[in-house]
Amino acid sequence: MTINEIQSEIVDEFSEVDDWMDRYGMIIDLGNSLPPIDEKYRTPDHLIEGCQSRVWVNAELTPEGKVHYTADSDAIIVKGIISLLVKVLDNQTPDDILNADLHFINDIGLSEHLSPTRSNGLLAMLKQMRLYALAFKNLKLKM
């Protein structure tokens, strides 16, 4: 699926639920379904700077030229948020990740229901995921 198709799917799922407490429940469920990150990536090198909670993100380039993300957090809502980002960006090409307009964040109302510190954390997570994509794009250009 493309990034836009995945975003549309997420927007559709969230549009079925009006109450934000229920939407938080959906985000928590997504976080609970996120596969655990390998312990070897729970290091300071993989911690996201700018997050109030601890969030670890790792990325690897697959032989097919797509970015595979793994992530985890020690905060349940934040784990759900990083799970959403992984769901949208995982197994996409570096170019697609770098060029993506992640409109689903606003479309589902997430940005307006986050505290300022969580909003900053969301931006920091997204920035790190895009930095991984940029690094892999540059790596491919050098090959």
Dist CA 124 CA 141 (whole Å): 26
Dist CA 44 CA 56 (whole Å): 8
Dist CA 84 CA 31 (whole Å): 8
Which one from 6, 10, 37, 51 is the annotated catalytic residue? 51
Under 8 Å between Cβ of 87 and 6? yes
Our answer to whether residue 120 is catalytic in this structure is no
Q: Match 């986050």 to its residue by tokens.
A: 114
Nearest to 6 by CA among 101, 125, 131, 123: 101
Encoded tokens for 61: 């380039």
What is the DSSP annotation of 57-69? EEEEE-TTS-EEE
Question: Which sequence positions are flagged as catalytic?
Answer: 51
